[in-house]
Structure 1
């Protein structure tokens, strides 16, 4: 079967392409290269011995997207990653996020519903829950007012897809609400490749450890947590990639009449920023230079997943540890420096 992966050269997208090709799927990648590189395509090829078809297209280009689907009528499913993803940047530039994340999704769906029966996996986020009332967070938790424009685009994106599935009986979709993806492929051929200053914790940690950055800023130590720093659920990117393949196979086998389903994807374990720093130091043998600074706008206090639904219905469970993810991220960082 042929699967379209939008944003397929990004961090999560590229690892999912690897997981798909390792399962025998034919993959077509769309990416505008705004936050990725063609070198990722080479890494995918090195790992899988297969090069996915690649099309450089911005999903906001309606005519280019239309032409793509005219020539790719045989797609069996779509995994949609292409979006801007930094919480802090979204607070500073909300209109960029609303245009890039919502217009692109709308144009993609407009083309999908013209095809025969179609299946879609949406790259969502735990940010849809805002600051949850109860931990761990289950799929039944209320979707609260988003703490950032990024989180709001994921909430609205889910609503757009749900509404489309309700009126277009040819479309079935699963939204995967994942927590904090980290790590890299163990081969170190692909990994997180932020352009400019990293917006996420782990690449900032590895870049600081290898002296690309002078020091790591820890945003706040006065939160109501055990050590005062924010708590998140950090999941290895390959566990997350495999969850996408399993969710896709659920859609392709059609075991349920539900046209739109939601699953949390995480480890179920919360780790504070300082705990992640300590785990990295243990995994790498490096001492990290960091300082405490003020809180960052848009950050919630704590978020970690209740994964029971994904465990029982999808038959998926995270297998890799925090230490393994940090070790793989560190190997990837060192490999990039040598390249």
Structure 2
């Protein structure tokens, strides 16, 4: 199958590329490297001994996106490209709407031009907002509490409307919980630009000595130890979920939202303890005020993924921390400059 992958050089995209290529698919990546590295693609090629077509471009550039899609003529699209930091979305909401929402409408129009009817979308459990009940299932009301979550919810609605209006369309909206970890080789992993917005890469950078201490945003939540509780999922499990979703689009029409998580919550404090265990390093920390838009607890109901995708997460929090530490200790400064692999 020919698969067009927006944001394929990023963290989740690069791990999914490994699985796609290992499964024998032909892939074209469209990425502007705003929060990714061409070195990741070079390492994917090394890991798989397969080539990856690459078009450097921005999903806000409708003409460039359409040209790339029409030229590659894919059977399906996996859409990762977008901005994803909750805090930054509060500070720069228009940038998030322009990139995530307008970029996605550009993509759907480009798919129409290329006669492509299958898409797997990188959504987020952030769309649920505050829990009315737990675990979150796909029937839980949508109520995002920050601009980032609102962009994801809007794009879900747009894709659903597109699928309803498009003959033979098939779309899967994968609502990620909290992807962490790295490839077992330690060759690819999460390498955020600037200060990490997510917990595990920040913990990893403290453990490897790049940062002095970890800031925990609030210890007064209604959780078992007062720190925020999340459903962390290994990025390799998440990559496998994309292949399962891709397969599903080939045998079902319409649009389905599907949670991708483990179904188990881990608190920030528990994750720090697990990372100390994996790394053997001290991880100094401080408690700071809560961040706007954060919720106390979030974990997934996973029955729908098991039923429709025949997929279930297999890797636990110790595997997540061990693989993350292997990546960070082997690459203490993240990816090197382009041209160095």
User: Smaller-chain TM-score range?
Assistant: over 0.9
Query: Is 1:310 equivalent to 2:305 in the alignment?
Result: yes
* Further displaced range: 194-203 or 109-118: 109-118
2:70–2:110 Cα contact (<8 Å) kept: no
> Partners in 2 of 1:186 and 1:70 — Cα distance?
35
Equivalences for 1:142-291 in 2 at 5 Å? 142-144=141-143, 146-252=144-250, 254=251, 256-257=252-253, 259-291=254-286
1:46–1:189 Cα contact (<8 Å) kept: no
Q: Deviations over 1:231-267 (max 9, x none)?
A: 0000000000000001101112x1x34x101110000
> Partners in 2 of 1:154 and 1:337 — Cα distance?
32
Q: Secondary structure at the match of 1:174?
A: strand
2:2–2:27 Cα contact (<8 Å) kept: yes
Q: Deviations over 1:254-306 (max 9, x none)?
A: 1x34x101110000000110010011111221111111011011101100000
Q: Secondary structure at the match of 1:34?
A: coil
* Further displaced range: 215-224 or 116-125: 116-125
> Partners in 2 of 1:308 and 1:296 — Cα distance?
31
Partner of 1:96: 95
1:41–1:51 Cα contact (<8 Å) kept: no
> Partners in 2 of 1:27 and 1:69 — Cα distance?
12
Partner of 1:325: 320
Report how far residue 154 of structure 1 moved. 0.5
> Partners in 1 of 2:157 and 2:242 — Cα distance?
20
> Partners in 2 of 1:235 and 1:88 — Cα distance?
21
Q: Secondary structure at the match of 1:235?
A: strand
> Partners in 2 of 1:292 and 1:17 — Cα distance?
37
1:116–1:170 Cα contact (<8 Å) kept: no
Report how far residue 175 of structure 1 moved. 0.3
Q: Deviations over 1:49-96 (max 9, x none)?
A: 1121011011111221122133122x1000000000111111111111
2:177–2:233 Cα contact (<8 Å) kept: yes
Partner of 1:133: 132
Partner of 1:86: 85
Task: Normalising by structure 1, report the TM-score.
Answer: 0.96
2:207–2:283 Cα contact (<8 Å) kept: yes
Report how far residue 117 of structure 1 moved. 4.9
Could you say what the CA RMSD is over the residues aligned between the two structures, in angstroms? 1.1
Q: Secondary structure at the match of 2:331?
A: helix
Partner of 1:18: 18
Q: Secondary structure at the match of 2:301?
A: coil
Query: Is 1:59 equivalent to 2:59 in the alignment?
Result: yes
Q: Deviations over 1:128-185 (max 9, x none)?
A: 10011111111111112x1110000010000000111111114210000010000000
Query: Is 1:48 equivalent to 2:43 in the alignment?
Result: no
> Which consecutive unaligned segments of at least 5 residues does structure 1 have?
none
> Partners in 2 of 1:63 and 1:113 — Cα distance?
13
Query: Is 1:29 equivalent to 2:29 in the alignment?
Result: yes
> Partners in 2 of 1:35 and 1:117 — Cα distance?
27
Say how many residue pairs are matched: 334
Report how far residue 196 of structure 1 moved. 0.5
Partner of 2:339: none
Q: Give the ranges of 4+ consecutive aligned residues of structure 1 lying more than 4 Å apart after TM superposition.
A: none
